[in-house]
């Protein structure tokens, strides 16, 4: 997967590596070589998202930290992307962020990653149970059995009715042929109708019907679900060349809470209509971190009114935002963004 580096523009010290989803505090001190006392020792808190290619910047110090010309403000948080500058304090000490490719497996991040090695988990590494061939045969468990053929009926909207999905999802959780990973809190399964080359679902064993019933006591569970999803991405053989997003549908058709882990090339025969596309490329798709933040700050998840209308929006490329008239034209256009 990509590796994140914070690079000093005045070349005063070596680039600082920021590990995926690991919080790092920087300011005045030997690591940055900054001696300016207007810069706090704990001036900024940084957290890299290597999959999505940005850093979250939170100002901790009293004096201003800037991202380009925008003052972050003490206690506030903004996003730093490649091409932007982070000024550590008072428009001084500029930094840029760079993402490079690394073929070696990243080390696990935090205690949640260790939970993936619990004694009662499946004996095999989840990544070893996933193989990719053509875009019609994704994520099958390598048990020697031939992959099921996807037919137009298998990818149809009728197969995705609420009742079918609700019952099918619960059955899939218990099906060893669908399971890619499991521990005592969650299970990861292949999405039966993947909307991209890689499309997995992380589900809790605990019966939770929807986002609406989540409360603050579920925070640890959702953080663990996100950690498991991140680990699946790290172990994906194409993680170094694909972007992934982790999130929830605002109004899911299934009755059991599930976290989508989906690659962003959207190369799948099951992505067939506007509803499919907009459910993953508009605000209808709520980032995992945003759901956790809502629970931490408000004790519940609030879904804005009118979310269903987002599914009717025009087809727009999620990379360049260019509008396309049909799904086939959109898919053809997407090829230009795949390296």
Q: Which residues are catalytic?
A: 258
Name the β-bridge partners of 190: 200
Tell me how far CA of residue 286 lies from CA of 59, 67, 189, 278, in angstroms. Answer: 25, 25, 20, 12
Q: What is the CA radius of gyration of the chain?
A: 21
- What sign does the dihedral 103-105-107-111 (CA atoms) show? positive
3-state helix, strand, coil in the chain (%, to 5): 25, 25, 50
CA nearest neighbour of 124 among 142, 110, 108, 109: 142
User: By the 8 A CB rule, do 248 and 211 touch?
Assistant: yes
Here the tokens at position 80 are 């730093």
* The three-state (H, E, C) secondary structure of 209-233, written as one string: CCHHHCCHHHHHHHHHHHHHHHHHH
């Amino acid at each position: 997967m990509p590796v994140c580096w914070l690079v000093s523009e005045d070349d005063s010290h070596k680039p600082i590596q920021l590990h995926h989803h690991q919080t790092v505090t920087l300011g005045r001190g030997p690591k940055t070589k900054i001696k300016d006392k207007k810069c706090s020792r704990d001036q900024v808190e940084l957290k890299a998202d290597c999959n999505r290619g940005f850093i979250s910047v939170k100002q901790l110090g009293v004096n201003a930290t800037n991202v380009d010309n925008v003052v972050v403000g003490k206690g506030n948080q903004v996003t730093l992307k490649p091409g932007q500058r982070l000024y550590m304090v008072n428009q001084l000490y500029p930094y840029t962020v760079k993402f490079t490719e690394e073929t070696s497996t990243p080390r696990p991040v935090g205690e949640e990653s260790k939970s993936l090695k619990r004694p009662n988990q499946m004996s095999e590494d989840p990544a070893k149970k996933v193989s990719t061939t053509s875009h019609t045969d994704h994520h099958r468990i390598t048990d020697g059995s031939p992959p099921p053929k996807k037919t137009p009926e298998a990818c149809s909207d009728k197969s995705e009715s609420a009742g079918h999905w609700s019952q099918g999802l619960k059955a899939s959780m218990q099906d060893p042929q669908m399971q890619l990973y499991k521990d005592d809190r969650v299970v990861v399964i292949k999405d039966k109708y993947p909307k991209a080359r890689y499309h997995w679902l992380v589900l809790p064993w605990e019966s939770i019907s929807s986002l609406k019933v989540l409360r603050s006591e579920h925070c640890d569970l959702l953080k663990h679900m996100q950690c498991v999803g991140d680990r699946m991405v790290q172990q994906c053989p194409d993680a170094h060349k694909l972007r992934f997003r982790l999130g929830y549908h605002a109004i899911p058709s299934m009755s059991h809470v599930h976290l989508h882990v989906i690659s962003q090339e959207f190369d799948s025969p099951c992505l067939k209509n506007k509803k499919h596309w907009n459910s993953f490329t508009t605000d209808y798709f709520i980032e995992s971190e945003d759901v956790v933040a809502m629970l931490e700050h408000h004790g519940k998840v609030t879904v804005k009114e009118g979310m269903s209308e987002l599914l009717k929006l025009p087809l727009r490329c999620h990379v360049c935002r260019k509008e396309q008239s049909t799904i086939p034209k959109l898919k053809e256009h997407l090829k230009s963004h795949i390296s």
